[in-house]
Structure 1
Amino acid sequence: MSFTLKSSAFADGSAIPSKYTRLGENIAPRLEWAGAPDATRSFALIVEDPDAPNGIFSHWGVFNIPGDRNALPESSDTAPNGGLRFCDNDFGNGRYDGPQPPKGHGLHHYHFKLAALDVPALSMPASAGIQAMWREAQKHMIAEASLTGTFEQR
């Protein structure tokens, strides 16, 4: 079985509903995964927009997701979360911030990337930022699953 990531909020390659954007309720969509390697001890997740005007823009970073989990519920960044750690995103917030591309900038792609890690936890401050967390996660990555959503502000 391959390692997969999906959401009940949107299908891979399709539009992210406004509810999950900064123009709507700005809440994290539910995410589910399956097929993680047996050696998985924890997970790390990032959400990035490579279509941002100034290069890759990081919207969400979560780490120390227990290896026995297979989902993050909707609003998992604000609900009781079982010890999850959240990195500061490029908006400067330690939580999920959904799509908000510049008006008229065209279609943006939001890449949700989930890494299965061979360590139970990453030891780093959340203030280090999403890119630093992801670089550390990649040192321990044994598998990666991804999901892409799109959004355009007209």
Structure 2
Amino acid sequence: MRITSPAFVDGGRIPTKYVMPRAGGENLSPPLSWEGEPEGTKSFAISCVDPHPIARNWVHWLVINIPASVHRLPEGASGRSMPASARELKNSFGFVGYGGPQPPPGTGDHPYVFTVYALSVEVLDLPEDISLEEFLGAIEPYILDKVSLTGYYSR
């Protein structure tokens, strides 16, 4: 599988408009495109996690039940123009949907890892306030492939 974003390249800087307002941004979810999923893919899931030692796997975005026919999310899709069957779950900020970068000032570059999972199941029934560990455990049996794109941000 391959994943790209017109907003930033893998290993590049995340533009400010995709970060939280307290960090100077607009909290728009970045545009994402993916392709090359394996045969048998019935849906996609997305996670965005900050694995920085200070953030300790802070969840910025969890999405499930994206139809297999969907291969892109436009800029600002979270909360506005998600595919009809897709479900956004709570992030570590405590609200549903995308919560952009907002690293503590002076903690250096934080990696934000956007992962798209190709799943062998059409629908997952997961609670809105699921933890990252529970999310990963729930999708693990159905993962056919996954691909990640990492952007960096610091204050």
**TM-score scaled to structure 2, two decimals?**
0.93
* Letter of the structure 2 residue corresponding to residue 27 of structure 1: L
The whole-number CA distance in structure 2 between the counterparts of 1:54 and 1:116 is 26
Aligned counterpart, 1:123 = 125
1:98 to 94, 100, 107: 100
* Letter of the structure 2 residue corresponding to residue 78 of structure 1: G
Contact 1:89 1:130 in 2 (8 A): no
Secondary structure at the aligned position of 1:133 is classed as: helix
Secondary structure at the aligned position of 1:128 is classed as: coil
Aligned counterpart, 1:145 = 147
Aligned residues: 151
Call closer, same or farther: CA 1:132–1:125 in 2, change over 3 Å: same
Aligned counterpart, 2:15 = 17
Deviations 1:16-75 (A, max 9, x none): 000000120011000000101121000010000011515111100000000111011111
Aligned counterpart, 2:77 = 76
Contact 1:37 1:116 in 2 (8 A): yes
* Letter of the structure 2 residue corresponding to residue 48 of structure 1: V
Aligned counterpart, 1:58 = 59
Aligned counterpart, 1:26 = 27
Structure 1 runs of 4+ aligned residues shifted over 4 Å read none
**TM-score scaled to structure 1, two decimals?**
0.93
Secondary structure at the aligned position of 1:19 is classed as: helix
2:135 to 120, 133, 151: 133
The whole-number CA distance in structure 2 between the counterparts of 1:60 and 1:54 is 14
The whole-number CA distance in structure 2 between the counterparts of 1:15 and 1:55 is 20
Deviations 1:85-142 (A, max 9, x none): 0111100011101101000000111100110000001112212244422221111000
The whole-number CA distance in structure 2 between the counterparts of 1:88 and 1:78 is 12
Secondary structure at the aligned position of 1:10 is classed as: coil
Aligned counterpart, 2:38 = 37
The whole-number CA distance in structure 1 between the counterparts of 2:150 and 2:43 is 22
Superposition RMSD on alpha carbons, in Å? Answer: 1.2
Unaligned runs of 5+ in 2: none
